[in-house]
Amino acid sequence: MLFISILDIRLKAFTEIPIRYKFETFYLINQIHLFNNKPKFMNLKNKTLLITGIDELVGLRTAELAIAQGMNVRGLQSSTEQNKQLQNLGVEVIIGSITDSAIAQKACQGVDIVLHTEQIAEEAGAINHFRDVNVGGTVNIAKAAKQAGVKTFVHLSSVMVYGFNYPNGITESGPLSGENNPYCQTKIEAEQALLELNNPYDFGIIIIRAGDVYGPGSIPWIVRPILMMRQKLFAYANDGKGVINHVYIDNLIDGIFLAIEKETFGEIFNITDGQETSWKEYFMRLAAIEGLSAPLSLPKDEIKLFLKLRVQGQKLFRKKVDILPESIDFMTRPYACSIAKAESLLNYKPTIDLESGMQRTHEWLQKTDIQSLMK
């Protein structure tokens, strides 16, 4: 039997050119593999993360990416429907409401970080209904987390706290405006209530004001518009003027992880893609990736009247209302929000631009029955 020492191999690798070439190639491939599989956020590895609303867009994708970072993930959802994606990931899922104190306490036990995404995100409705979940439920899960010894609580808020008409390049300092809209108003109230609980040495609060989240699984900015376009019922308002504050789902989660890793307690961050894209361009791109006719432009008031009549018809025939007239207010906002603070404090750099994000979304659409996603 022939024994070759490690020293012999190393000598041959650096004295015989063919062997040296193979050795260097193997070493380079190995290093690339190690780099690509290295967690991006090293400080988060082995941490236990609770995600409320884990069965929704942000929750699901965060669970995937958190597990890839070596984190342990637990989920809380109000729906009793089992999610195959979460089952495949091996995520522990607790069923219950964030407004239930016992459920909240159970969910928070043994957790290091809470990402709170559960919310009512409809465009209109009774404000008490919104307030029960978006404010009361948020405070309930936060207090349960604090009592359980959780150190970091991240609240997924929205740029909608600025309302529908705000200054160009608006920063986290505001002004805030509820606009007599239950979603906008209760997101503001939730932020204010949470910041009162912030204690960086004991229980740190981080608030993420997410832009208009698009990508695979996005109901308001991908699924619903496409379904309307397929029926030739979609139109954008007022020539598509104004700016959509889009953020690709993975960019948003990068921003969230950066804020957690850097322990930016007591801070608020706008997280968008940082691109000024008109409503017209966005919806034109969306139609194009599906090979659909370019949507028309109509005056805002005409679209709202059409949708109002549509809602009345759906209610008359006991069909589910799929889009409210108030949604048009969300689609006519005028300006971009600033992400300068996130860029400065977090070193946040959106890596997926609109073109790449649309391409990824197109690939997902090719293999997904999006009609089945409408609950």
pLDDT (tens digit per residue) in 89-132: 999 999 999 999 999 999 999 999 999 999 999 888 899 999 99
Q: In Å, what is the CA distance from 54 to each residue of 64, 66, 94, 240, 371?
A: 11, 12, 10, 33, 21
pLDDT of residue 34: 41
Q: What structural domains and CATH numbers belong to the chain? A: 42-279+329-373 (3.40.50.720)
> What's the pTM?
0.87
Q: Which of 132, 105, 106 is nearest to 118 (CA)?
A: 132
pLDDT of residue 125: 87
Other C-beta atoms closer than 10 Å to the C-beta of 293 total 11
pLDDT of residue 76: 98
Strand, coil or helix: 210 = strand
What's the CA gap between 295 and 297, in Å, rounded? 7
Q: Using CB atoms within 10 A of its CB, is residue 95 exposed (0-12), middle (13-18) or buried (19+)?
A: middle
What's the CA gap between 365 and 272, in Å, rounded? 23
pLDDT of residue 10: 52
Give the chain's count of helices (H) and strands (E): 15, 13
pLDDT of residue 58: 98
Give the dihedral of Cα atoms 282, 51, 148, 172; nearest 10 deg: -10
pLDDT of residue 32: 46
- Give every residue of the chain whose pLDDT is below 70, as ranges: 1-39, 42
pLDDT of residue 317: 87
Give 67-79 pLDDT, tens digit per residue.
999 999 999 999 9
